[in-house]
Structure 1
C-alpha cells in the first residue's frame, strides 16, 4: 500500500513538473515575440539565459498558484453575473491574474502591458490544459486507477451500486438528446459522413428507429413527456390560460417549474432520474438529485437551488474558461460571417440574424455545450446510474439558418465530436455505460408566414375581427381580402378608409409556436365555441381557413379546412381524410390536443406542402417546429444492442418515457419510485459533487 502511494505521488509530481516546464517555455517564447512583455532586467546586456529562465519559472509558478487558489473564488463571486457576460469577462480576469503574478517576480524582472497580459494568460492556460490532458491520456493505466479510486470513494459515501457489487457495478445509461435533429436529418448526416462517431455506433450494433411526436412538436412537450411521463395539457410552446390570465412559455423558468409540478401530480412519481440520476442542460429535472442548468429549478433562490452551479464547476478551471471563451468569440465571428454571406448571396428564405443573436447562438453552441458535456463526463467518472443531457446547438442554428445547409452541417459535425469525447471517457469510467441517442422533434424548412404573405398571423386575425392593423399589413392582398370579408359579413359596402370594429369583447390573444398559432378570447369563460365565434366575428374563421398559408383550424371539436371543409373529431374517418397531408397520425394528435383543458379557442396549423415538407412558421424562423407538417414531427431513438427493442411504432413522448424506464430496469439500474420527492427534500446539487478531482479532457472546436 505504501509503495503504491509513493508511486502515485511520484507520478503526480512528475506531471506537475512537466506542465510547469512546458508553461515556462511558453512564457519564454511569448516574451520573445511580444513587444510589451519582458522577463529581463532593463539596461545593457540584460540578464543571463539562466536568470531569465528562473524568472519565467517564478512567474509561471505564481500564475499557476493564483489560478488554482483565486480563480474559483472569482467565478463563485460572479455567479450572479449573466452567463454571456461571464464568458466575456474570462479574458479580463485571467489577464488580471497574470499581471499580479508578474508583479510578484522579485527585483522587478517582469513587466507586461495589460492588453498583452490577456493574450499571454490565454495562451498559457491553453498550453497547460493541453499538456496536462496529454499526459493523463498517455499514462492510461494510472488514469484508470485514479478513476476507479474516485468511484470507490463515492460508493463508500453511499451513492453507488449495491453492497457486494462494488467492484463490478451494474451498467449505467447515458441519454444524449440532440435537440431538433429529426430522423431524416440524422440519416442524411450519416450518409454524408458528417457524424462518424454516430455511424460507428451503428456499425457496432446500435439500432435506429423514428418516433412520432404529439401535435405540439417542441422541446417543452417532448422533454416533459420523456423525463416525467406526461405531455397532457401542453398544447404548444406558449399558450394563454384563461383561468389565471397568464401566458405559459415552456422555456420560462416559472412556467417550466409549474409544468413539472403538474406532470408529477398527474403521474404520481418524480421522474425518470429519481434514483442516482443526473439532469444536465434540460428544461426539467426528471427527478434527478444532481442538477446543472435545469430550467425548472432555476427560478428558485437560496442555497436550496444553485442554478448556476454547473457554470461554477466548469469555469472554476481557468483553462476551461479560456478555451470556451476563445471558442465563444470564434462562434460569434462565424455567425456574423455566415449571415453576411447569406445576405450577399441573396439567399432565400432568410431571416434577420443581427442584434444579440450572434451572442445567443454562441452561448447555445459553445458555452452550454461545453458545460453540459463536461458535466456528463463528470457523472460518468463518478459512476452515476442514469444521466440525461440536452445538446441544443443544432436546434438554435437551424431556426435561423434553416435545417439543411452548410451552417447546420458544421454544427452536427461538432456535436459528433462531443459524442466522440463522451464515448472515449466511458472507457475509463468505473462502470460500463450504454449510450442512447435520441431527439425530441425534427425541423421543417420554409419561408416564414410574414415573409411569404407580408403580414403576421396576428395581423390576419385582427383583420378578420375587423380590428385596425398596421398600414403595411393592410396593403397586402391577404389584409385587403380579410377586410373585405369583414365588411361583407357585416352586410356593409366596402368603402375606402372605413374601419370595422368588433361587436363586443377585448382584443384576442394571438400566440405563435413555430408553424402552430393559438387564438384565445380572454373575455369568454371556458372555451369559445364555433357558434359564438361566427356570431361575434363572422369573418374570422373563413378568413383564416381560406388563407393559402393556413392548413387547417381546430375549433371546439371540429377541424376546419379551406373551401368550407368541416370534419368532426368524434366521427370516425372525417378528420383522417381532411388531415391526410399532414402525416400519419395527424388526426389522432389533433383529437388528443382537443381534450386539453387549456387548448386555445382556435388552433391554427400552417399549410404544408406534402411533397417537400415545407411549412410557414408564424415566428421569424426558416427552420421551425411546434405543429404538424414535414419532418418536425419525426424524432429518432438510437440504442445499443444490449437493450431490448422499443416495440411497435412509437407515438408520443410518453411512449418513449416508458421505453427508457424499461431500459433502466434491464440495465439493473435505478427503479423509479412511485412517491415523488418534495421540493424541500431534494438534495442540493453542489459543485463538489459534479466533477471528479481528476482532470477530464474538453473538446477544442478551434483545433
Structure 2
C-alpha cells in the first residue's frame, strides 16, 4: 500500500474518531437536558461509566446508521414520497433504541422514551453530518468521496478522467426571462448575476419563445426528444382512444415519449452517456431517477424511477436534514397563506388541503434529491446531465410569479446552482453549465374569480345545458342563456335553460391548461367544424368569442380550413393571420405561426379557447385555480430563457429568434456534438422528418 493511500486511510480513521467523539458528547448533553433520556442506572453511576455508556451508544448508533439505514431506505422506496418525511424521524429513532439495547452497558442503564428517541436521533445525525462535513472541507478527496455517496452507487463505471468537457443542463421550471432579470437586479440570484456580469462574464443570456402550449410537457418533450408534435395542451381529450392525456400522468408521459421517439427516429438528447434527473421524460438517458415516463414500467437495474431517493436517503443525516426542512417548509407555507388571507391579498387562491405538503415536497425533497443526483453524476464523469428543479413553478402558481414567496424560492435555487458549480471543481472532467427554463408564468386572477363561473359552466350555458345556480346568477351565465334562447328563437322564461338542450348528444368535455381551454364533443369521432358546431349549438361559439374573459377562439372550418374567432363577429382564416392578426394582435410576435402549428395537430380540440390578455399589465385569466399560470399565449409565460457559456457557440445568429422547444433541442444537440464529437448524432430537421 502506497504512502498516499496510508495517509488517506489515517485521515479517514481520524475523522471517524472525531465524529464518534462529538456524537458521544452530543448524547451526554442531550441526556443532561432531556428528562426522558437517561444514561445511568437508577442507583446512579460514576461519570466515567456514564461516558462509556454514551460512547458505546453513539458508536452502536453510528454503525447501525451505516449498515441498516440503506436497507430501510430500499423499503421506503415502496412508500409514497409525501409520507417519507414522517417515517424518517420514526425509523431513525428506532435505530437509536436498538443501539441502546445492544449496548452492553446501555442495556441496563440507558433509558429513553420512544418520542424522545426520535429527537435524540435527529440531533445526533445532524451533528454527525455537520462534523464530518467540516472535517472534510480541506480534504478534496474526502469531500469528493462524501459527495459521491449521494449518487446512485450502482451506476455503470466510467473511464477515469475523460478529457472532453461534460455538460449539465439545469432547468429552472417556470422561471421566465424577465423574472430572472428582475431577480438579479434585486440581488436574489448572485450566482446567476456573477455568470452574466462582473469583469469576466462567462455566460450569455438568450430569451426564447415557447409554442402555443407553454407548459413543461410540451417544452420538455421538445427539448429532450426533439419533437412535441401533437401536444396541444397540458391535458387534452383524444377521440380515437376516448382518453384524457395529462402530461404529468405516468401513463401519458410514457406514451408521449414513445410517440416522440417514433416521430424523430432518435432516442433523445441524452443517448450518449446521459443522465435524466427529476424530469417528465428520459431524453434517452441510460441513467434515470425520478423520471415520470418510466414510473409505470417494471423496475430493473437500468430502470429505477425512484432510485434517486435511495441514493440520497441512504445517508441518514441527509434524511433527517431534508425531513426537518420539509416540516419547516410546511410551516412556512401555512404562515404565508395565513398572512395572505389576513391581509386580503388579491388575487388569491385556496392553499389548504394537501398543498402545503405538495409544496414542501417540490421545494425541499425534490430539490435535495435532484441536486444530489446531479452532483453524483458530475463526480462520476457523465457526459450529459439534464435535471429539472420544479420549486419555483409550484410556488408561483399559488403565490404569484413575482410574489415575495416565489422570490425566496429563487434565492434557494440560486444557492443550489452555486453548489453544483462548486462540485464541478472536484469532477474528473471539466463541465459546461447550461441553465434554462421551459416556460415562464403570467400573473392574473382566475377566470372564475373575476366572472363567478368556470369555463366549463360557460360552455354548458352556451350549449343550453344546466349549470349550477351560482353560475346562472352571474352576468356571464345570464348572457349565455339569453344567447341560447335567441339562437333557438325561444321566449325568455325562468328555468327555461334546463330544458333547452335536447339531450340527444353527449355533453362536451371541457379541460383547462392554465389560460388555455379545450372543448371536445366525444360523440363525434372527428374534429368538428365551425359549421357542425353552429348547427348543433348555435349560440356556443358566439358566447365564447364575445365573452370579455376570452381573447380568441380557434376552430376548424369547412370553408377556410381553420378560423380564429374574436369579439364583435371577428372571424379570420388561419391562412391570413400573417396579413391580418385581428384578435391575435395583442399577443406578440410569432403568435400566428404558433396557432397555425397547433391547428395542424391531429388531436387539437374541437374548440381551442385562449383567455383574455392585457398587454400593458401582462395579465391573463387562468381557467384553473392559479394566480400564476402558463399553458397558453399571453405575457411572460411564453418567454423562458437560455443561459449558456461563451465557450459554446452562439445559440442563434444575430437577428434570429430562438423559437420553439424543438429549436432549443437542436441547439443543445449541436453543443453536445461540439464538445463530444460525432458520437453525438445530429438531429433530423422537422422538414426531413415530415418527408
Please classify the TM superposition score into its range, dividing by the shorter chain length: over 0.9
Output aligned runs, 1:551-570, within 5 Å: 551-556=551-556, 557-570=562-575
Alignment correspondent of 1:163? none
Q: Is the 8 A contact 1:331 1:362 kept in 2?
A: yes
In the superposition, relative to structure 1, how do residues 213 and 485 fare at CA in structure 2: closer, same or farther (>3 Å)?
same
Q: Which whole-Å deviations, capped at 9, do the CAs of 1:51-97 have from their partners, x for residues lacking one?
A: 22111110000001111111111111221110111221100000011
Q: Which whole-Å deviations, capped at 9, do the CAs of 1:335-368 have from their partners, x for residues lacking one?
A: 0000000000000000000000000000111111
Q: Is the 8 A contact 1:575 1:587 kept in 2?
A: no
In the superposition, relative to structure 1, how do residues 669 and 502 fare at CA in structure 2: closer, same or farther (>3 Å)?
farther
SS in 2 for 1:436: strand
Residue in structure 2 matching 1:99, options 83, 97, 100: 97
Alignment correspondent of 1:253? 250
C-alpha distance in 2 between matches for 1:25 and 1:667: 51
Q: Is the 8 A contact 1:273 1:672 kept in 2?
A: no
Q: Is the 8 A contact 1:196 1:416 kept in 2?
A: yes
Output aligned runs, 1:56-67, within 5 Å: 56-67=54-65
Output the TM-score relative to the length of structure 2: 0.94
Alignment correspondent of 1:692? none
- Note the residue ranges of structure 2 that are not aligned, 5 or more in a row: 557-561, 685-691
In the superposition, relative to structure 1, how do residues 361 and 147 fare at CA in structure 2: closer, same or farther (>3 Å)?
closer
Alignment correspondent of 1:195? 189
C-alpha distance in 2 between matches for 1:621 and 1:142: 46
Alignment correspondent of 2:559? none
Alignment correspondent of 1:689? none
Tell whether 2:270 aligns with 1:273. yes
Q: Is the 8 A contact 1:236 1:516 kept in 2?
A: yes
Per the TM alignment, residue 233 of structure 1 is displaced from its structure 2 partner at its CA by: 0.1
C-alpha distance in 2 between matches for 1:510 and 1:149: 48
Alignment correspondent of 1:683? none
Q: Is the 8 A contact 2:150 2:376 kept in 1?
A: no
C-alpha distance in 1 between matches for 2:91 and 2:642: 43
Alignment correspondent of 2:288? 291
Output aligned runs, 1:61-460, within 5 Å: 61-107=59-105, 108-140=108-140, 143=143, 159-160=158-159, 166-203=160-197, 204-303=201-300, 305-460=303-458
SS in 2 for 1:212: coil
SS in 2 for 1:274: coil
Per the TM alignment, residue 333 of structure 1 is displaced from its structure 2 partner at its CA by: 0.3
Per the TM alignment, residue 668 of structure 1 is displaced from its structure 2 partner at its CA by: 2.0
C-alpha distance in 2 between matches for 1:144 and 1:552: 55
C-alpha distance in 1 between matches for 2:34 and 2:577: 78
C-alpha distance in 2 between matches for 1:154 and 1:41: 46
Q: Is the 8 A contact 1:171 1:669 kept in 2?
A: no
In the superposition, relative to structure 1, how do residues 551 and 433 fare at CA in structure 2: closer, same or farther (>3 Å)?
same
Per the TM alignment, residue 5 of structure 1 is displaced from its structure 2 partner at its CA by: 2.0
Per the TM alignment, residue 234 of structure 1 is displaced from its structure 2 partner at its CA by: 0.1
C-alpha distance in 2 between matches for 1:462 and 1:508: 8
Q: Is the 8 A contact 1:272 1:657 kept in 2?
A: yes
Q: Which whole-Å deviations, capped at 9, do the CAs of 1:106-131 have from their partners, x for residues lacking one?
A: 24121111111111100010111111
SS in 1 for 2:465: coil
C-alpha distance in 2 between matches for 1:81 and 1:468: 43
Tell whether 2:550 aligns with 1:542. no
In the superposition, relative to structure 1, how do residues 511 and 620 fare at CA in structure 2: closer, same or farther (>3 Å)?
same
Q: Is the 8 A contact 2:669 2:682 kept in 1?
A: no
C-alpha distance in 2 between matches for 1:422 and 1:150: 13
Tell whether 2:640 aligns with 1:644. no
Residue in structure 2 matching 1:664, options 659, 663, 672: 672
Alignment correspondent of 2:687? none
C-alpha distance in 1 between matches for 2:312 and 2:677: 27
Per the TM alignment, residue 142 of structure 1 is displaced from its structure 2 partner at its CA by: 5.4
Alignment correspondent of 1:501? 500
Greater Cα shift, 48-57 or 230-239:
48-57
Per the TM alignment, residue 209 of structure 1 is displaced from its structure 2 partner at its CA by: 1.1
Per the TM alignment, residue 574 of structure 1 is displaced from its structure 2 partner at its CA by: 4.5
Alignment correspondent of 1:531? 531
Q: Is the 8 A contact 1:181 1:439 kept in 2?
A: yes
C-alpha distance in 2 between matches for 1:522 and 1:148: 52
C-alpha distance in 2 between matches for 1:94 and 1:146: 20
Greater Cα shift, 380-389 or 574-583:
574-583
In the superposition, relative to structure 1, how do residues 148 and 601 fare at CA in structure 2: closer, same or farther (>3 Å)?
closer
Greater Cα shift, 387-396 or 31-40:
31-40
Per the TM alignment, residue 309 of structure 1 is displaced from its structure 2 partner at its CA by: 1.2
Tell whether 2:583 aligns with 1:578. yes
Q: Is the 8 A contact 2:299 2:305 kept in 1?
A: no
Per the TM alignment, residue 192 of structure 1 is displaced from its structure 2 partner at its CA by: 0.3
C-alpha distance in 2 between matches for 1:330 and 1:149: 26
SS in 2 for 1:570: helix
Alignment correspondent of 2:483? 485
Q: Which whole-Å deviations, capped at 9, do the CAs of 1:254-279 have from their partners, x for residues lacking one?
A: 00000000000000100000011000
Alignment correspondent of 2:595? 590
SS in 2 for 1:390: strand
C-alpha distance in 1 between matches for 2:149 and 2:357: 41
Greater Cα shift, 578-587 or 223-232:
578-587
C-alpha distance in 1 between matches for 2:383 and 2:511: 40
C-alpha distance in 1 between matches for 2:674 and 2:154: 24
Alignment correspondent of 1:688? none
In the superposition, relative to structure 1, how do residues 555 and 65 fare at CA in structure 2: closer, same or farther (>3 Å)?
same
In the superposition, relative to structure 1, how do residues 32 and 670 fare at CA in structure 2: closer, same or farther (>3 Å)?
farther
C-alpha distance in 2 between matches for 1:144 and 1:536: 68
Q: Is the 8 A contact 1:278 1:388 kept in 2?
A: yes
C-alpha distance in 2 between matches for 1:486 and 1:149: 66
Q: Is the 8 A contact 1:464 1:482 kept in 2?
A: yes
Residue in structure 1 matching 2:611, options 606, 609, 615: 606
C-alpha distance in 1 between matches for 2:439 and 2:625: 19
In the superposition, relative to structure 1, how do residues 454 and 287 fare at CA in structure 2: closer, same or farther (>3 Å)?
same
Q: Following TM superposition, where does structure 1 have runs of at least 4 consecutive aligned residues deviating by more than 4 angstroms? A: 141-151, 673-676
Q: Is the 8 A contact 2:515 2:621 kept in 1?
A: yes
C-alpha distance in 2 between matches for 1:68 and 1:382: 22
Alignment correspondent of 1:25? 25
C-alpha distance in 1 between matches for 2:130 and 2:531: 69
Q: Which whole-Å deviations, capped at 9, do the CAs of 1:568-614 have from their partners, x for residues lacking one?
A: 01125355343120111111100100000000000000000010111
